[in-house]
Amino acid sequence: IPSIDALNERLTTLGINDPLPVFPDANPTLNPIDIYRCFIAHQLAPITGLVIKEIYENLNWTKALENGDLILVVPSIVSIRKKGGNYNELAKEWAAAFPENPYTLAPVVDGSTLRFFFKTDVLTNLVLPSILKYKENYGPINDGKGRRVIVEFSSPNIAKPFHAGHLRSTIIGGFVANLHEICGWDTIRMNYLGDWGKQFGILSVGFKRFGSEEELVKDPIHHLFNVYVKINQIISEEKEIEKKKAEEKGEKQTYNGPTDDEARAFFARMEAGDVEELALWKRFRELSIEKYRDTYARLNISYDVYSGESQVSKEAMDTASEMMKTKGISEESDGAVIVDFAKHVRPDPKDSSKPDPKDNSKKLGKAIVRKRDGTSLYLTRDIGAAMERYEKYNFDKMIYVVASQQDLHLQQLFKILSLLGFEWADKVQHVNFGMVSGMSTRRGNVVFLDDILQEAKERMDGAMKSNADKYAEVVDKDFVADTVGRSSVMIKDMSAKRIRGYDFNLEAMTSFEGDTGPYLQYAHTRVCSILRKAEVPLEQIENADISLLTEAHATKLVRCLAQYPDVVQQALKTLEPSNVVTYLFQMTHILSSSYSVLHVLSADQETRDARLALYESARIVLHSGMELLGLTPVDRM
Whole-angstrom Cα distance, residue 245 to residue 253? 9
Whole-angstrom Cα distance, residue 557 to residue 553? 6
**Known catalytic membership, residue 160:** yes
Element (H, E) at 616: helix 605-629
Please compute Rg for the chain using Cα positions.
29
Whole-angstrom Cα distance, residue 306 to residue 110? 55
- CB nearer to ligand ARG: give 194 or 206: 194
Residue 556: phi and psi, rounded to 5, are: -65, -40
Whole-angstrom Cα distance, residue 567 to residue 251? 65
**Known catalytic membership, residue 166:** yes
Question: Where do contacts with ligand ARG occur on this chain (CB under 6 A)?
Answer: 152, 155, 157, 192, 194, 382, 400, 402
- CB nearer to ligand ARG: give 166 or 623: 166
Q: Are 528 and 494 in contact (CB under 8 A)?
A: no
**Widest CA span in the chain:** 97
Whole-angstrom Cα distance, residue 481 to residue 180? 29
- CB nearer to ligand ARG: give 34 or 152: 152
Q: How far is the CB of 572 from ligand ARG (least distance, A)?
A: 22
Q: How far is the CB of 13 from ligand ARG (least distance, A)?
A: 53
- CB nearer to ligand ARG: give 376 or 483: 376
Residue 382: phi and psi, rounded to 5, are: -65, -35
Please tell me whether residue 124 adopts helix, strand or coil conformation.
helix
**Known catalytic membership, residue 133:** no
What Cα–Cα distance (Å) separates residue 494 from each residue in 207, 403, 561? 38, 14, 21
- CB nearer to ligand ARG: give 155 or 380: 155
Q: How far is the CB of 160 from ligand ARG (least distance, A)?
A: 8
Burial 185-200 (b: 16+ CB within 10 A, else e): bbbbbbbbbbbbbbbb
- CB nearer to ligand ARG: give 310 or 624: 310
Catalytic residue (one of 53, 92, 160, 589): 160
Q: How far is the CB of 192 from ligand ARG (least distance, A)?
A: 5
Find the residue with minimal CB distance to ligand ARG: 194
Whole-angstrom Cα distance, residue 505 to residue 560? 31
User: What single-letter amino acid sits at 237?
Assistant: E
Q: How far is the CB of 172 from ligand ARG (least distance, A)?
A: 13
Please tell me whether residue 336 adopts helix, strand or coil conformation.
strand
- CB nearer to ligand ARG: give 155 or 617: 155
Residue 204 makes CB contacts below 8 A (sequence gap 6+) with 263, 266, 270, 277, 280, 281, 284
Q: Are 176 and 151 in contact (CB under 8 A)?
A: yes
Q: How far is the CB of 155 from ligand ARG (least distance, A)?
A: 4
Residue 631 makes CB contacts below 8 A (sequence gap 6+) with 300, 483, 486, 487, 490, 491, 517, 520, 521
- CB nearer to ligand ARG: give 94 or 341: 341
- CB nearer to ligand ARG: give 155 or 563: 155
For 428, which DSSP code? E
Whole-angstrom Cα distance, residue 543 to residue 558? 17
Q: How far is the CB of 312 from ligand ARG (least distance, A)?
A: 10
Q: Are 435 and 501 in contact (CB under 8 A)?
A: yes
The CA-to-CA distance between both ends of the chain, in Å, stands at 36
Whole-angstrom Cα distance, residue 308 to residue 196? 8
Q: How far is the CB of 310 from ligand ARG (least distance, A)?
A: 12
Q: How far is the CB of 391 from ligand ARG (least distance, A)?
A: 16
Please list the active-site residues. 160, 163, 166
